[in-house]
Amino acid sequence: MGLLKSMDFSGFLVAMSLLFAVFSMGSVSGIGANWGTQTTHSLPASTVVKMLKDNGFQKVKLFDADSTILDSLKNSGMEVMVGIPNDMLYTLANSVQAAENWVAKNVSAHVSSNAVDIRYVAVGNEPFLQTLNGSFEGITLPALQNIQAALIKAGLSSRVKVTVPLNGDVYTSQNNIPSQGDFRADIHDLMLQIVKFLNDNGSPFTVNIYPFISLYDNPSFPVDYAFFNGYSSPIDDNGRIYQDMFTANYDTLVWTLQKNGFGNLSIIVGEIGWPTDGDQNANIQYAQRFNQGFMARYLAGQGTPMRSGPLDAYLFSLIDEDAKSIQPGNFERHWGLFYFDGTPKYQLNFTANSKGLVAASNVQYLARRWCVVSPSVSLDNPQLADSVSYACQNADCTSLGYGTSCANLDARGNVSYAFNSYYQIQNQLETACKFPNLSVVTNTDPSMGDCRFRIMIDAPAGVANGMASGVESLQQPVCLMLFLFLFICTIL
């Protein structure tokens, strides 16, 4: 009773909620989803939270700590992994105070006042990718240590665990045999330090596994091995049979941890999924096949030869992000289970009695009109190429190209798609369809087959990002070069 007298009532409630969370941790229940926000126009956060719940998601992984999104998760029943972007690692690694400030603002405030069930802080995102050339190797562990120290000081370390989402390229194996796995030679010692730190603090190892990327990077990669339907030439690792890449990759990590003395460290699959556009192997049929195959084994509680029992995983991703960098490939903007407007792309069952994905509700759209190339314009018009270049630089043309959903468009169709993409991202402004004597607005939907000329959502004030940071991400030379190549080849 003396303790209760020394606490105000609100403090008592916070303490009890933290205590309850501690006792409820440790079980794996429900599939999670990655919620990315690199979009020109975003659905309201409350709409996305409802969509998550309507589809049975129980966990959500964020890539930053947007206060609006965290506020929307208040009392939602969703377990949350909040993220710290790579560009913040330097500051957090070099300042304990910065880490304490970050935790106070982005964790403590939401846990205590908003009842957001934050379970993890993801420090960085794939910071040791080989394509990053070691940029974050010296600062990831110090940032991790400082965030952990800040959580301890805030009295949250028993409830909120730190982790570092890592790409599967941090470990490797000879001849793709799982039992021969070990950490990459160039970061071996660093990985042992990080794994020890995670183990000492009861934190999980988070890994992103992408069979699609293996297929994208290697034309000789066996297609069937990327899926879960069986493979004619499975890997036999001393009696352990591997018929799909995901299981083999996961167990390569298990072996890697085991041989380095951390065989009991828990593992979270932070990202797993398949894109639906932007590459010949990124399509709705393959995405449905992969994700339903993964969900079937997830629902069955099927583990791997090295670790039985259910997996802890987050599907990647919830919604398409039309402002993501396409440096890795045009498919980067098409990982969503849902299109940008919350419309399901295909049938996917999360339970035995599921009726498929549930669309976002009460979505508002702009008017049913499109910007297309004028019927009177000749394809050899000297202003056409520059106009298309401008449109694609400031919009999203990643559905154009070989093997994509709009691959069957003719030259005029390609131009119209580029014009309309720009027009929609610019909120259908009249001036956005004023390409010099080249374009017109039409009320007739120009979509053809699988190629959809989409109408932008009518995002509330402060939600439409296209005029600010989103457009900056859209301006990618790769997209421009791809489209110009397609455009020239189509004309010729």
CA pair distance 428, 492, nearest whole angstrom: 31
Half-sphere CA count of 134, side-chain side, radius 13 A: 6
Neighbours of 479 (CB within 10 A): 22
Task: Give residue 3's pLDDT.
Answer: 34
pTM, rounded to two decimals: 0.90
Name the residue type at position 344: P
Whole-number pLDDT of residue 464: 57
Residue type, 315: L
Question: pLDDT for 141-190, tens place per residue?
Answer: 999 999 999 999 999 999 999 999 999 999 999 889 999 999 999 999 99
pLDDT tens digits, residue range 179-209? 999 999 999 999 999 999 999 999 999 999 9
Residue 126 designated active-site: yes
Judged against a pLDDT cut of 60, whether residue 26 lies above it is answered with no
Task: Decide the pairing of beta strands 235-237 and 171-172.
Answer: unpaired
Catalytic, 100? Answer no
Residue/partner pairs of 8-17 with CB below 8 Å, 24 or more apart: 14/111, 14/112, 17/111, 17/115
Tens-place pLDDT, residues 442-486: 999 999 999 999 999 998 644 555 433 334 444 444 444 444 444
Contact between residue 97 and residue 146 where contact means Cβ atoms under 8 Å apart: no
pLDDT of residue 304: 97
Is the Cβ–Cβ distance between 198 and 204 less than 8 Å? Answer: yes
pLDDT of residue 113: 72
Q: Are 476 and 327 in contact (CB under 8 A)?
A: yes
What is the per-residue pLDDT across 409-445, written as a single tens digit (0 to 9) for each?
Answer: 999 999 999 999 999 999 999 999 999 999 999 999 9
**Most confident region among 16-30, 207-221, 476-490 by mean pLDDT:** 207-221
* pLDDT of res. 4: 32
Quote the pLDDT of residue 336. 98
Average of per-residue pLDDT across 233-238: 96
Query: Contact, 83 vs 125, CB < 8 A?
Result: yes
Task: Tell whether the model's pLDDT for residue 243 goes beyond 70.
Answer: yes
Is residue 29 pLDDT above 70, yes or no? no
- Which of these is catalytic: 271, 321, 430, 472? 271
Which of 79, 100, 126, 321 is the catalytic position? 126
Q: Residue type at 23?
A: F
Instruction: List the 161-163 sheet strands across, edge first.
Output: 161-163, 117-123, 79-84, 59-62, 32-35, 313-315, 267-272, 205-208, 165-167
For residue 19, the model assigns a pLDDT of 38
Percent of the chain with pLDDT over 90: 84
219 class by beta-carbon count within 10 Å (0-12 exposed, 13-18 middle, 19+ buried): exposed
Q: What pLDDT score does 471 carry?
A: 41
* Cα–Cα distance, 38 to 330 (Å, whole number): 14
pLDDT, tens only, 362-404? 999 999 999 999 999 999 999 999 999 999 999 999 999 999 9
